[in-house]
Amino acid sequence: MKKVLIIDDDKNILTTLQIHIENAGFVTLCASTGTEGTALFKKELPEIVFIDLKLPDMDGLSVLDKLIETGIQTYPVIITAYATIDTAVKAGKMGAFDYLTKPFGPAQISHILRRIEKVQSLEDKIEELKGIVHENDLITRNEEVKKVLSVGRQVAESHAGILISGESGTGKGLLASLIHRWSERSDKPFVTVDCATLQENLLESDLFGHVKGAFTGAIRDKTGKLELADGGTVFLDEVSEMAPPIQAKFLHFLQHHEFERVGDPKTVRVNVRIISATNRDMEELIREGLFREDFYYRLNVVELFMPPLRDRPEDIDLLSIHYLNRFSRINGRPVSGIDPEAMKELKRYRWPGNIRELVNVIERGVILCEGRLLSSSDLPPHITKSRPEPQQGEELKTIAEIEKEHIQRTLMRTQSMEEAARILGIDPATLWRKRKRYHLD
């Protein structure tokens, strides 16, 4: 269900808008100041925003400017009792979709909502005709990513554990947040736990919480992330780095939906959905005894694989232009495009850091660019000097690409899964998972 954010300090206006917008089938969010509204916008990502021109802490146009700067797709509507042509024109130039004058009635609100839905429908059809899927910053023409998004939508309404695999920087965290937004838990918290950055005892406290005096430095009670996310989703980023003792405690939580805070015998029960992500080969970690197999299967009811950017060459120009437009707005730069030679450099590069690296390169380029088009001279040297040469007519390939091709050849030359698994030196269950990961039907 679509969200509408209302930023207005007049309680009567808030109530009126809420009633009519919710009657039209939308979920409403309310804020009484520009600061509160901007924070709520970044957290909830509403499709439509109604902004009062006169707010206690700033004017509505300043709020509009802050929302536009984020680069997040939305339809802003300015509402005011002080209608002037100049203000309406200025708001439109800044990116406002429409302008609503107080006092207003249900018909005017309904008219604006219908117009937005029509425009959004047309924009979606245009994107569809171009073969582009646009889910906030997850923009793609790539068929494999489209399949991932389609499956993600399917499983969002379930309670199954989801494991998102893929290299660092491919958008695993963004996919996790989208699945949360598509689910019935979307109005509850989405809480991220970075398993790679905290030591074992700190990670345990971060997840489960602790009571005062539980260990040295525990000077007050702390509520853990699982408890904070009650009703919502917990995203375990780089779950492969979780220490075995915490894996055991977390497995107990997954089985019984309860846990104990560090230093507290009292049982806490919460209802959360777990989405995990990893850039490691989990099966290898299991063989090495670094990751519990029973824990892995609890997390990995559904696995989604985010392909690296080098396997999505059709998305490089799409993403580059998207982020160029965003950083041009944020930094007040007049950069409006990328010249053909620079785009060739971007497409030629292998992007080991994936989308995260591309975002960094584009932001740097926009800041350094002195003209209207980003050129090769605005790109870092490691991009422009990168010249991966084909060897004997073939491009260099990643280990994952080589493995996929080898498994595919083996499956084509054998009579059964068991025979293929024996030749490959892996068990049939591992072969089944690799077929699933690489979409080898």
Taking alpha carbons only, the member of 433, 165, 195 closest to residue 308 is: 165
The answer to whether 243 and 250 have CB atoms below 8 angstroms apart is: no
The C-alpha atoms of residue 85 and residue 91 are separated, in whole angstroms, by: 10
Q: How far is CA 136 from the centre of its chain?
A: 8
Listed in sequence order, the residues at least 6 apart from 60 whose beta carbon sits closer than 8 Å to its beta carbon are 7, 34, 51, 52, 53, 54, 78, 79, 80, 91
The answer to whether 167 and 279 have CB atoms below 8 angstroms apart is: yes
Q: Which two three-digit tokens encode residue 237? A: 């980023």
pTM across the whole model:
0.68
Query: pLDDT category, 81, cuts 50, 70, 90?
Result: confident
Residue 379 has pLDDT above 90, yes or no: yes
The C-alpha atoms of residue 197 and residue 311 are separated, in whole angstroms, by: 29
Whether residue 103 has a cis bond before it, omega within 30° of 0: yes
Taking alpha carbons only, the member of 35, 70, 63 closest to residue 49 is: 63
CA distances from 175 to 121, 136, 151 (A): 23, 10, 11
Helix (H, G, I), strand (E, B) or coil at 390: coil
Q: In angstroms, how far apart are the furthest CA atoms of the chain?
A: 77
User: Given this model, what pLDDT does residue 84 score?
Assistant: 63
The C-alpha atoms of residue 232 and residue 45 are separated, in whole angstroms, by: 16
pLDDT in tens, 135-159: 667 889 999 999 999 999 999 989 9
Query: pLDDT category, 128, cuts 50, 70, 90?
Result: low
Higher-confidence position of 132 and 169: 169
pLDDT in tens, 219-248: 888 899 999 999 999 999 999 999 999 999
Torsion 413-418-421-422 (CA) sign:
negative
How many CA within 13 A on the CB side of residue 333?
A: 24
pLDDT in tens, 243-275: 999 999 999 999 999 999 988 889 999 999 999
Single-letter residue type at 406: H
The C-alpha atoms of residue 28 and residue 46 are separated, in whole angstroms, by: 9
Residue 316 has pLDDT above 80, yes or no: yes
pLDDT in tens, 66-76: 888 776 778 99
pLDDT in tens, 385-440: 765 544 455 566 777 778 888 888 788 777 778 888 888 888 777 888 788 777 77
User: Given this model, what pLDDT does residue 166 score?
Assistant: 93
Query: pLDDT category, 384, cuts 50, 70, 90?
Result: confident
Tokens 């039209």 correspond to: 24
Percent of the chain clearing pLDDT 90 (strictly above): 51
User: Given this model, what pLDDT does residue 406 score?
Assistant: 85
Higher-confidence position of 8 and 384: 8
User: Given this model, what pLDDT does residue 368 score?
Assistant: 93
Query: pLDDT category, 182, cuts 50, 70, 90?
Result: very high
The C-alpha atoms of residue 226 and residue 110 are separated, in whole angstroms, by: 40
Single-letter residue type at 213: G
pLDDT in tens, 347-356: 999 999 999 9
- Find the angle CA(373)-CA(374)-CA(378) to the nearest 5 degrees: 145
User: Given this model, what pLDDT does residue 183 score?
Assistant: 93
Query: pLDDT category, 360, cuts 50, 70, 90?
Result: very high
The answer to whether 221 and 212 have CB atoms below 8 angstroms apart is: yes
